[in-house]
Amino acid sequence: MENIIEVQGLTVRRGTTEAITNASFEIGKGDYVGVVGPNGGGKTTLVLALLGLLPKTSGSIRILGQEIEGFKQWDKVGYVSQYAINFDSQFPLTVKELVGLGRVNQKNLGRFRNKDDWNAVDEALTMMGISDLKEKRIGQLSGGQRQRAFVAKSLVSKPELLVLDEPVTGFDPITQEKFFMQLANLNQKKGITVLIVSHDLAAVFCRMSRVLCVNREVHGSAITDGKVPDDLLKKGYGEHFHFAFHDHRCQGVFIDEQL
């Protein structure tokens, strides 16, 4: 399988602390990856390094087959940060304007947006089911609507990789379920590789095809039929950690596919 991300011997320092130590892993095209691990374990650091927003101390990162240092196709990568929905709610921006910002990149610097750009905006809004909200100000949206608007913004450049950092924090179970179903749809029907940082282990093991457990070291494993790789979690959360999870709970998560 073609790899979207290849990491070899990655070490990242934040200040005097080594936040990621000698990590090596791959993410294949079409993977649906959950990044889990304890608070302060380095999940966000890992994501920021993969996106080139944080310098690496050593090792190599390849995205879409290119070394990150020379990588220019950032329009192929969509990112929603964990702080995305905590913007200034007074900022005068409509959903359509926000999603339109996703079409701004190095290639169209100083150029006016054309019909294709706005068609792509409409398509992304439809994909996330928020077309009816496009004239609303982003400050008027609920948490779930905001998150979908930000995902639409990251989809508008038609990315091959979508990275979301703790996208469902503070969501009620139904909103969370709707959101994960839309992401699964993007992954399965559009073939977009999705990487999600999450504390919700049940959602990761029920929904996703791979897991990366981060606690300075990064350990990866495939997820088969919702089975929890116990050894992997112990490496991340500690020897005494036991995740009381039964795969039949996955059926409970998919309680109503009509949501």
Partner 1 sequence: MSSFSLLDLPSLFQYQFFVFALVGGALAAIVSAWIGLFLILRKESMLVDGVAHTAFGGVALGLFIGIDPMLGALAVSTVSVFGITYMRRKGLAQSDSAIAVMMAMGFSLGLIIISMAGGYNTDLLSYLFGSILTIDQGDILVLVSLAVIIISFMVFFYKEMLAVTFDEDGARLQGIPVNALTMAFNLLVALTIALSIQVIGIILVVAMMVLPGLTALQLKRSFKSTLIASTVFGTLAAVLGVMLSTIFDVATSGVIVFTAAGIFLFVAFFQRLG
Interface residues toward partner 1, by CB under 8 A: 51-53, 72, 74-75, 77, 79, 81, 84, 87-88, 90-94, 97-98, 100-102, 104-107, 109-110, 113, 135, 137, 139, 157
- Minimum gap (Å) between residue 106 Cβ and partner 1: 4
Nearer to partner 1, 98 or 233 (CB): 98
d(CA 259, CA 247) in angstroms, rounded, equals: 21
d(CA 243, CA 199) in angstroms, rounded, equals: 12
Tokens at 65, concatenated: 């087959």
The backbone torsions φ and ψ at residue 155, rounded to the nearest 5 degrees and listed phi first, read: -85, -15
Nearer to partner 1, 36 or 61 (CB): 61
> Could you tell me where the beta strands, DSSP code E, fall in 55-165?
58-63, 66-67, 77-80, 161-165
Nearer to partner 1, 64 or 184 (CB): 64
- Minimum gap (Å) between residue 107 Cβ and partner 1: 8
- Minimum gap (Å) between residue 44 Cβ and partner 1: 12
> Could you tell me where the beta strands, DSSP code E, fall in the chain?
3-14, 17-28, 32-36, 58-63, 66-67, 77-80, 161-165, 193-197, 210-215, 217-222
Of 23, 21, 24, the C-alpha closest to 13 is: 21
Nearer to partner 1, 92 or 225 (CB): 92
Residue with tokens 């294709």: 116
| CA dihedral sign, ordered 157, 163, 169, 175 | positive
Question: Which alpha helices (DSSP H) does 95-229 contain, by range?
Answer: 95-101, 115-127, 143-155, 173-189, 201-207
- Minimum gap (Å) between residue 195 Cβ and partner 1: 14
- Minimum gap (Å) between residue 12 Cβ and partner 1: 16
Nearer to partner 1, 137 or 199 (CB): 137
- Minimum gap (Å) between residue 171 Cβ and partner 1: 21
| CA dihedral sign, ordered 194, 199, 205, 207 | negative
Task: State the Cα angle at 215 between 182 and 231, rounded to 5°.
Answer: 85
d(CA 83, CA 86) in angstroms, rounded, equals: 5
Nearer to partner 1, 94 or 221 (CB): 94
Nearer to partner 1, 99 or 211 (CB): 99
